[in-house]
């Protein structure tokens, strides 16, 4: 199987959400849904980013339909929404699909 077809982004669920965002490195969470066209177009960007920054950041995806608790806790009303967490706290939020450059820039502002 070709590794390029495997998502490099971590699958985040309600069950592992709190533990995941408590990471010692910044965590970017893409809140998305399978029915969302912009989300599907944004997925390759998130996967590429995950492959590029894995040493410094955790990049994950959370399906809002399958994981309503985390989505509700953070008031996710629009997908895709990207939240960056540092030491378990929200430090940045972007609504809508973003470019990889924009995500890189946002993450670089929160490097440990």
Determine whether 97 is exposed, middle or buried from the number of CB atoms within 10 Å of its CB (0-12, 13-18, 19+). Answer: buried
How far is residue 71's CA from residue 14's CA, in Å, rounded to a whole number?
9
36 annotated active-site: yes
Given 9, 39, 45, 62, the catalytic residue: 39
List 36, 49, 50, 103, catalytic entry:
36
Query: In the 8-state DSSP scheme, what is residue 4?
Result: G
Does 99 qualify as catalytic in the annotation? no
- Enzyme catalytic residues: 36, 39
């Amino acid at each position: 199987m070709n590794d390029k077809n495997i998502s490099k982004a971590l699958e985040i669920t309600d069950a592992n959400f709190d533990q995941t965002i408590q990471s010692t490195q910044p965590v970017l969470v893409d809140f998305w849904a399978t029915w969302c066209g912009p989300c599907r177009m944004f997925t390759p960007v998130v996967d590429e980013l995950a492959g590029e920054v894995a040493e410094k950041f955790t990049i994950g995806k959370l399906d809002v339909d399958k994981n309503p608790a985390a989505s509700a806790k953070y008031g996710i009303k629009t997908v895709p929404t990207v939240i960056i967490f540092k030491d378990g706290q929200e430090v940045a939020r972007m609504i809508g699909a973003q470019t990889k450059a924009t995500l890189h820039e946002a993450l670089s502002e929160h490097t440990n």
